[in-house]
Structure 1
Amino acid sequence: MQQSRPGDVMTCPAGIKHWHGAGPTMAMTHLAVTGVLDGSNVEWMEQVSDEQYHVAQ
């Protein structure tokens, strides 16, 4: 798990499966700058369950 602090910039290279979310007492703003490949700019993966999310904290 990689934690971020206010003002941090995170980079995720193309083809890297990842997820992101806020903590139970913190909000998160997600701003993505991306390109388009074959008419799509993102491949949404499976949703993280509450159980998975809480283990990762």
Structure 2
Amino acid sequence: MPGQSAAGLITAGYDIKAAVPGGLWVQKDREVYYCNSGRPLETEPLCWRLREPSAGNFC
């Protein structure tokens, strides 16, 4: 999710569900994101949204 940080998601009402080395899992209703807590390169996303895989695709 380009431009979205863990702090931005938390202030938008997402709850921290788990803190793991290198990142956070945050959730609001059925939307779940993994956000890294390190220093990503400028072109890397800060948070990734988890989705149901499409038929024939990998998670």
Q: TM-score range by the shorter chain?
A: under 0.3
Taking structure 2 as the reference length, the TM-score comes to 0.21
Taking structure 1 as the reference length, the TM-score comes to 0.22
